Structure 1
Amino acid sequence: MTDHDGAHNNLHSERGALAGEHPGRVRNPIVKVHDIAWLEFEKPDLDRAEMFGRAFGFSPTLRTADELHLRGTDPGAPCLVVTKGVKTRFAGTSFRAATGADVVRLAEATGRSVRRLPDTLGGVCVDLTDPAGATVRVVAEQHRLPALPAQTPLTYNSGHNMLRVNTTQRPPRQPALVQRLGHVVLQTTKYRETLDWYLQHLGLIVSDFLYYAGQRERGPVMSFIRCDRGVTPTDHHTLALTLGPSNRYVHSAFQVADLDAMAAGGEYLREQGYRRSWGIGRHIQGSQIFDYWRDPDGFLVEHFSDGDMFDSTLEAGWAQMTASGLAQWGPPVTKDFLGIAPGRDSIHEARSIIGALRDDNEFDFPRLRGLLKVASS
């Protein structure tokens, strides 16, 4: 058995697909995107968005009366593009193509037009809509922001390996500087159709599938999906899709230097009056050390560090979806993270369940029973 054969074994994950199950990739995608580029939001209060952004560890690169760009320390595009709107909403995901020619190829294959982006971002794009109705923008040739001074990871004495002598550890209580955007998680009532769309149009490949207890024969209900850059390793997931009663943003994740930066940054956020949703812990699928927070508009955002990196040779793992299977260690998963805490969001999701069960989609009564079991498993 090779190292790749065992990469998914033991930690709540089975060896791989059974005969006839989803292969997790397509043979001839239209293009293969290289990475996630940025996320777009609309918010009525840009001052409040900027204040939280700074506390979370972003640096503003553009601020006008109607627009806010927030970046990490890595070179490249901003992580977030926030425009002023009447109400708060997630506006879409941008992915970075390898070249401008890929943007043209994707536009021609989908009957869309290539257009130039504003000078504040630069480059070209094609705007698409996935089967769940989410806006998907594929971009290339953006202005490249230079790197900013980054937070230096601490030097650790691990066991008997002494790398730090006559020097103390005193991580400052300050924002955990975001390095880059890592991934976004979206929920859809048309999970399988949406999954296949991303694999075919953007050339993404699945790292891990999850299925409901007793329903593996019906297929997966969640997938962690990465970019395919051949022998170049990429994040375990750049996009995650999950089946649910509504089409919505779930959370996004931003890399920081290490656990101490995350923990000290979390203390800083707490002291500023912001609310932790769940953490600190370590995930199973993806292995990331995580810490989840709610921004002032209720959006769930994650600091992460030490995530898995896979090349294209690794096939998808399969595991049962459970609440306990969300982490290897850490505090018990919260009702807030699961979206079942009493409040506006849970009421909206309950109403969505009624609507979804009436509509023609993949979220039916057996899937509802499977989802309800997850929260108590």
Structure 2
Amino acid sequence: MKMQVHQDPLPVARRADTLAVHSVERVVFTVPDIAPAEAFYTAFGLDVKRVGPRIDLYTHGHSHCWMTVVANGQPKALQYVSFGIFAEDRPAFEAKIQALGIGCGPYPMATDDSGLWLHSPDGMPVQLLVCDKVSPSCKTPAHPVRMPARQTAAAHARSQCARVFPRWLSHVLLFTPNVARMLGFCDEVLGLRLSDRSGDLVAFMHTPHGSDHHLLAFVKSGGPGLHHTSWDVGSLDEVGEGSEQMRTAGFTEGWGVGRHVLGSNYFYYARDPWGSFAEYSFDIDFVPQTTDWTAGDYAPEDSFYLWGPVVPEWFVANTELPTPSAVEASQAG
């Protein structure tokens, strides 16, 4: 079977005289046991590299480590998010962090403890690291995997399906108890800009240095946490075949295939062993560094999805919140 190897989107560009992070450099979270994580992300189509009690996640043909998952014997929890910045912007970011009094020391679990460290209003450690821009700098092109057709038929046989391998990390969606507060932080401190929102329920942000419709997004919950990471693929077929790839591997819970309204991308969300998600995403809107995107505020029914299956109740559950039994036990203690 043919394997599609994807190359980095070029060229890299930046918006002049604009202070902002340019990429999600890495997402780090912990899980009870590393074996289920290794199995899930391997099935999803990522390059999984085991390093002691952790795995580092790469995409095929890309040298950048997008995500790290660490086993610590505790329930799944988001630990920190690292953002990339341009070298010439570091002094200005450092001055801003000092002026606002939100700086902190390196996080003990950091894979790279350099850079600038600060706390978000939700209490999550945030790292600003000088590094290459890894978010797309132009709209990623459709790149379907061509397979032999059945005589004159357009679709290839099921037995000839190639494995789906995501190309890049498109965006991250985080839970937050206060969407407006996180928007203010990301605007004032990180330089991100609002793409679209639905009141105080959900909001999507992009970098002015050029990125997909959202590099980072927030959805309201009882506390912070990781809802999903989204991974770009080259065709609608790859979204559908990715969903089948996960079901065949035993990861049968998910949502999709469907199409979003805000961002416009086609999607399938595979539910991981801890109740969060990895999304196959195709054809998301792009905001070039030369564009001032006009943000909209949409009614909930116009902000979620254009078409697709009914949303499962567990899709919006924040599994990083303490369970009622855990709360009762802590109060009893």
Smaller-chain TM-score bracket: 0.7 to 0.9
Task: State the secondary structure of the residue aligned to 1:328.
Answer: strand
Equivalent residue number for residue 223 of structure 1: 203
CA change 1:282–1:82 in 2 (3 A) is same
Q: How many angstroms does 1:122 deviate by?
A: 6.7
Equivalent residue number for residue 241 of structure 1: 218
Residues in 2 aligned to 1:46 and 1:78: alpha-carbon distance in whole angstroms: 17
Name stretches of at least 5 consecutive residues in structure 2 with no aligned partner: 1-16, 135-141, 328-333
Does 1:71 find its partner at 2:64? no
CA change 1:300–1:165 in 2 (3 A) is same
Equivalent residue number for residue 282 of structure 2: 305
Residue from 144, 164, 177 that aligns with 1:189: 177
CA change 1:347–1:314 in 2 (3 A) is same
Equivalent residue number for residue 19 of structure 1: none
Q: How many angstroms does 1:180 deviate by?
A: 1.1
Residues in 2 aligned to 1:192 and 1:349: alpha-carbon distance in whole angstroms: 27
Residues in 1 aligned to 2:121 and 2:265: alpha-carbon distance in whole angstroms: 29
Residue from 110, 114, 129 that aligns with 1:139: 129
Q: What TM-score does the superposition give when structure 1 sets the normalisation length?
A: 0.68
Equivalent residue number for residue 256 of structure 1: 233
Q: Give the letter aligned to residue 309 of structure 2.
A: P
Residue from 189, 195, 201 that aligns with 1:201: 189
Does 1:295 find its partner at 2:282? no
Identical pairs, percent: 24
Task: State the secondary structure of the residue aligned to 2:253.
Answer: strand
Equivalent residue number for residue 29 of structure 2: 41
Task: State the secondary structure of the residue aligned to 1:63.
Answer: strand
Q: How many angstroms does 1:275 deviate by?
A: 2.7
C-alpha deviations, 1:70-95, integer Å up to 9, x for none? 11135352121112212121112111
Equivalent residue number for residue 9 of structure 1: none
Q: How many angstroms does 1:35 deviate by?
A: 1.5
Superposition pairs of residues 97-108 of structure 1, within 5 angstroms: 97-99=85-87, 101-108=88-95
Residues in 2 aligned to 1:131 and 1:117: alpha-carbon distance in whole angstroms: 19
Q: How many angstroms does 1:309 deviate by?
A: 0.5
Superposition pairs of residues 332-371 of structure 1, within 5 angstroms: 332-339=310-317, 348=323
Contact 1:237 1:286 in 2 (8 A): yes
Equivalent residue number for residue 252 of structure 2: 275
Q: Give the letter aligned to residue 127 of structure 1.
A: W
Aligned residues: 293
Equivalent residue number for residue 262 of structure 2: 285
Task: State the secondary structure of the residue aligned to 2:274.
Answer: coil
CA change 1:167–1:196 in 2 (3 A) is same
Kindly name which structure, 1 or 2, has the bigger radius of gyration based on alpha carbons: 1
Residues in 2 aligned to 1:102 and 1:63: alpha-carbon distance in whole angstroms: 33
CA change 1:44–1:338 in 2 (3 A) is closer
CA change 1:140–1:346 in 2 (3 A) is closer
Residues in 2 aligned to 1:167 and 1:121: alpha-carbon distance in whole angstroms: 49
Q: Give the letter aligned to residue 128 of structure 2.
A: V
Q: How many angstroms does 1:262 deviate by?
A: 1.9
Task: State the secondary structure of the residue aligned to 1:275.
Answer: coil
Contact 2:179 2:203 in 1 (8 A): no
Contact 2:84 2:132 in 1 (8 A): no
Residue from 95, 115, 118 that aligns with 1:125: 115
Residues in 2 aligned to 1:46 and 1:225: alpha-carbon distance in whole angstroms: 31
Residues in 2 aligned to 1:225 and 1:259: alpha-carbon distance in whole angstroms: 24
CA change 1:122–1:133 in 2 (3 A) is closer
Q: How many angstroms does 1:109 deviate by?
A: 2.4
Q: What TM-score does the superposition give when structure 2 sets the normalisation length?
A: 0.77
Q: Give the letter aligned to residue 34 of structure 2.
A: L
Q: Give the letter aligned to residue 205 of structure 2.
A: I
Equivalent residue number for residue 96 of structure 1: 84
Q: How many angstroms does 1:284 deviate by?
A: 0.1
Equivalent residue number for residue 314 of structure 1: 293
